[in-house]
């Protein structure tokens, strides 16, 4: 009987196996998704955009400084996301004067199909502050907005329509500046045609 008991295979220990499996699973999880570096929540909402790990600045001037750095390094998307978050976080903050380099970067982004939609939103938010309108005109915002509407009319869709709506709203604010109104009048033909195509 003792020999039979000795030859009988030892029963597995579920707790040990479970612990090993759990340990292996945890090790894989930590390797694949490091627990010390969780994905930012914003990445789930903007999966196609580069995640921004920088904390939100306390005020718009701070956001402008950070946006200048992003634009200088060619990171337009990061700059636009940062400005959008700050302006949405505190809509009244748009009263702070926008630096020329930031306004120029936003206007240039309106002309780029890859960034036109968020750029049009940021431009509109900046133009809500009357003090930024002349600067926007000097940066070419009127021409950029007209071209954005025309581009949206050529490639209709929900994204294009949204960009066009924001660009048209921006044009209304640009027209409150005499120089801006003159720029819009020069592009009136193209603008009217684009609006008609948008229907």
Higher confidence at residue 169 or residue 161?
169
As a dihedral over the C-alpha atoms of residue 87, residue 89, residue 91, residue 93, rounded to 10 degrees, the angle is: -70
Residue 15 domain-assigned? Answer: no
Q: Which domain holds residue 74?
A: 55-198
| Residue whose token pair is 């120089």 | 179
Instruction: Find the mean pLDDT for residues 181-185.
Output: 93
Q: What is the SS3 assignment for 168?
A: helix
Write the CA distances from 110 to 26, 34, 37, 122, 127, integer angstroms. Answer: 45, 37, 33, 9, 14
- Classify residue 12: in a domain, yes or no: no
Tell me, yes or no, whether 17 lies in a domain.
no
Instruction: Please check whether residue 2 lies inside any domain of the structure.
Output: no
Number of domains into which the chain is organized: 1
Q: Is 44 a member of any domain?
A: no
Average pLDDT over residues 65-84: 96
pLDDT digits (tens, 9 = 90+) for 112-138: 999 999 999 999 999 999 999 999 999
- Residue 32 CA to residue 34 CA, distance in Å, equals 6
Confidence of residue 166 (pLDDT cuts 50, 70, 90): very high
Asked if residue 10 belongs to a domain, the reply is no
Q: In percent, how much of the chain has pLDDT > 70?
A: 66
Query: What is the average pLDDT value for the chain, to the nearest integer?
Result: 77
Cα–Cα distance measured from residue 42 to residue 46, given in angstroms and rounded to the nearest whole number: 6
Q: How confident is the model over 66-86, as a mean pLDDT?
A: 95
Domain annotation covers residue 152: yes
Q: Is 78 domain-assigned?
A: yes
């Amino acid at each position: 009987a003792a020999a039979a008991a000795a030859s009988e295979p030892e029963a597995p220990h579920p707790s040990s196996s479970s612990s090993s499996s759990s340990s292996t699973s945890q090790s894989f999880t930590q390797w694949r998704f490091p627990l010390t570096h969780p994905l930012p929540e914003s990445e789930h909402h903007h999966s196609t955009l580069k995640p921004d790990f920088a904390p939100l600045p306390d005020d718009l001037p701070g956001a402008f400084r950070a946006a200048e750095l992003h634009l200088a390094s060619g990171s337009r998307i990061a700059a636009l996301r940062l400005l959008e978050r700050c302006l949405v976080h505190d809509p009244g903050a748009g009263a702070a004067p926008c630096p020329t380099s930031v306004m120029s970067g936003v206007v240039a982004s309106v002309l780029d199909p890859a960034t036109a939609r968020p750029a049009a939103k940021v431009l509109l938010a900046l133009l809500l502050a009357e003090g930024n309108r002349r600067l926007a005109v000097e940066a070419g915002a009127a021409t950029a907005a007209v071209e954005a509407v025309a581009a949206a009319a050529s490639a209709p869709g929900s994204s294009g329509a949204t960009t066009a709506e924001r660009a048209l709203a921006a044009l209304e604010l640009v027209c409150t500046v005499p120089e801006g109104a003159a720029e819009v009048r020069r592009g009136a033909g193209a603008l009217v045609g684009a609006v008609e195509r948008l229907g």
